[in-house]
Amino acid sequence: MTNQNVKSIFAENLSNLLSSTGKTVADVSADLNISYSTFSDWKNGKKMPRGGSLQSLADYFNVNLSSLLEENKTTHMFEIVNIPLYGTISAGVLSEVEGISADNVKIISLPLAMFSRPYSSTKLFAMKVNGSSMDKVIQHDEIIIAKQDDFENYKDGDIVIFSHDNEYSLKRYCPNEVEGAVLFKAESHDPTFKDIVVMSNTDYNVKIHGKVIYYGTTL
């Protein structure tokens, strides 16, 4: 580990301790008789305190030295990602998505720990499910998180948000089940919901906007 990494880890731990205790730079520097500028340099990762000062800080915050010097990986579990909520998506027949503008987009905040792998927040968006054509997997009124990707990265079996002839739906993507066509499969307890079959030679445009990586119910 480089010296700069040690400084960064220490600075992050020190900032977390200040936040959790409600102490300010001025409070601690005065209590420990340390100059304000020196303590600010520690907090900002510019300098490291010497051994005696490190122990004084540990005693002051009533923590072990390791709490100052070692990376606290559990803090990353609570990092927050902000995701735009783009209205509702049909989980029934194809339908138009309600109008979305910069003025009516809502933002939902979720901990990164909810996802099985790290994702770029710029590729994520959320929608609320309207309909029951996927209720064996995703229920009506649940919130889904989807990830945008290049078309070739969508795999057989992904649950996707797609548009066909400028209308939108949520279905399971099955490009290999029907020769000469792409199948978007419904998975519902209600047999009246049918699969959507788009012929490969259709004049209508088909676009996949994202695959579902998370779904859940809000209370």
Q: What is the pLDDT of residues 173-184, one digit of tens each?
A: 999 888 888 999
Place of tokens 């001025």: 26
> Do 97 and 184 belong together in one domain?
yes
Residue range 40-46: mean pLDDT, rounded? 91
**Of 75, 99, 132, which marks where a domain is finished?**
75
| Domain, as residue range, for 53 | 3-75
Q: Which CATH number does the domain housing residue 15 bear?
A: 1.10.260.40
Query: In the 3-class helix/strand/coil scheme, how is 117-162 assigned residue by residue?
Result: CCCCHHHEEEEEEECCCCCCCCCCCCEEEEECCCHHHCCCCCEEEE
Residue 33 region by backbone torsions, left for phi larger than 0, else alpha for psi between -120 and 50, else beta: left
Owner of token pair 């735009």: 84
Domain boundary among 26, 44, 75: 75
Q: Which two tokens stand for residue 67?
A: 């709490």
More confident residue, 73 or 154: 154
Q: Are residues 17 and 115 in the same domain?
A: no
| pLDDT given for residue 114 in this prediction | 73
Same domain membership, residue 209 and residue 119: yes
Residue-wise pLDDT for 184-205, tens only, equals 999 999 999 999 998 877 655 7
Query: Do the beta carbons of residue 164 and residue 211 sit within 8 Å?
Result: no
Q: pLDDT tens digits, residue range 47-101?
A: 999 878 899 998 998 888 888 888 765 555 456 677 888 888 888 766 665 544 4
Q: Phi, psi (5° rounding) for residue 30? A: -70, -45
CA distances to 173, 188, 219 from 136, rounded to whole Å, are: 15, 5, 20
Question: Is residue 163 within 8 Å of residue 171, measured between CB atoms?
Answer: no
CATH of the domain at 154: 2.10.109.10
**Looking at the 3D structure of the chain, how many domains does it have?**
2
Same domain, 57 and 103: no
Whole-angstrom distance, CA of residue 128 vs CA of residue 170: 11
pTM of the predicted structure, to 2 decimals:
0.61
Q: Are residues 56 and 100 in the same domain?
A: no
